[in-house]
Amino acid sequence: NAHIICRTRDFCFVLNSKEVRLKSSPADLVTETDQQVEKMLISAIRRKYPQHRFIGEESVAAGEAVELTDSPTWIIDPIDGTVNFVHRFPFVAVSIAFTVNKQTEFGIVYSCVEDKLFHAQRGRGAYLNGKPLCVSGQTDIHRCVVVTEIGAERDDLALSTMTSNICRLLRLPVQGVRALGTAAVDMCQVATGGADAYYHIGMHCWDIAASTIIVLEAGGVVMDTDGSEFDMMSRKVIAASSSAVANGIAQVVQADSFLGDFSRNRA
């Protein structure tokens, strides 16, 4: 269904006819399309698997709890890159992951405007439009292109944390820093080898649950920004082409003060 919405000629008509609302900040948007896509996905899956649980970005925004249990759970971001969607900036994705016992079994990221379908199943590799994916294998951080997100937060603490992290990387130096406006597609660039690392502080599980397994199955590594084991509920992630690059980024990127502010203000 998301494919139909993203690919039809009336993509712009769908956009024009839809209301845009603010969520947590002037840069955190939601449209009726986000909500419709999530409802369509959940109802279609629930008809086949009525016992399964769901964590959907817009269901959570409407008040549902964010609780990852051992039950089979679908983690859905119906539109990752809503600001891009509203502005017709061509990086917009549907992200769907499936977990059992809190372990991701498969992940799908469909970059709608590019018509790129990234997917991976645990132990069975990662693919882009059916072709196998492999990370760059880069081990020297000075030879890396690093992807991150500007984020939707506009308070001074978040902005100073985000900009100081980027400056520290640029001063290493790394060869490039990029941000596409969708964590899901950002992280998939690591799986393609087109970027060598991705880090983010403040994203939610639905942004990166699918792209995390895609990077891992493409031979990459994933960890917390402090170098500890990755936890998709922690709102901190580094995905990289190698442990050497991941650890190099963990030494430079700081999160704690920013996250302290986060934990007070949001789920």
Ligand X SMILES: O=P(O)(O)OC[C@@]1(O)O[C@H](CO)[C@@H](O)[C@@H]1O
Instruction: Please give the residue ranges that form the binding site for ligand X (CB under 6 A).
Output: 28, 57, 77, 79-82, 149, 151-152, 181-183, 203, 207
Binding mask 201-240 for Mg ion (x = CB under 5 A): ------x---------------------------------
# of chain residues touching Mg ion (CB under 5 A): 5
Question: Is 82 one of the catalytic residues?
Answer: yes
Any known ligand binding at 34? no
- Contact positions with Mg ion (CB under 5 A) in 111-130: none
Find the shortest distance in angstroms from Cβ 132 to Mg ion. Answer: 26
C-alpha distance from residue 4 to each of 64, 117, 118, 246 (Å): 27, 14, 17, 37
CA distance 257 to 238: 18
Question: Is 196 one of the catalytic residues?
Answer: no
82 vs 136 by CB, closer to ligand X: 82
Name the catalytic one among 58, 80, 149, 153.
Answer: 80
CA distance 93 to 84: 10
Question: Is 77 one of the catalytic residues?
Answer: yes
Question: Quick one: which of 147, 82, 94 has its CA closest to 119?
Answer: 94
Question: Is 79 one of the catalytic residues?
Answer: yes
Residues linked to residue 131 through DSSP beta bridges, in sequence order: 128
In order, the DSSP letters of 18-83 are S-EEE-SSTT-EEEHHHHHHHHHHHHHHHHH-TT-EEEEHHHHHTT------SS-EEEEEEEE-HH
Of 31, 38, 57, 120, the one binding Mg ion by CB under 5 A: 57
Find the shortest distance in angstroms from Cβ 207 to ligand X. Answer: 4
Which DSSP state fits 103? E
Instruction: Give residue number: closest CB to Mg ion.
Output: 80
Do the beta carbons of residue 208 and residue 183 sit within 8 Å? yes
Question: Is 156 one of the catalytic residues?
Answer: no
77 vs 196 by CB, closer to ligand X: 77
Any known ligand binding at 28? no
Question: Is 256 one of the catalytic residues?
Answer: no
Name the catalytic one among 38, 149, 196, 207.
Answer: 207
Q: Which two tokens stand for residue 260?
A: 């302290």
Could you give the residue ranges of the DSSP H alpha helices within the chain? 2-7, 11-16, 32-48, 57-61, 82-87, 156-170, 183-192, 205-217, 243-252, 256-265
Any known ligand binding at 79? yes
38 touches Mg ion by CB under 5 A: no
What amino acid positions are annotated as catalytic residues? 57, 77, 79-80, 82, 207
Annotated binding site for Mg(2+): 57, 77, 79-80, 207
Annotated binding site: 57, 77, 79-80, 207
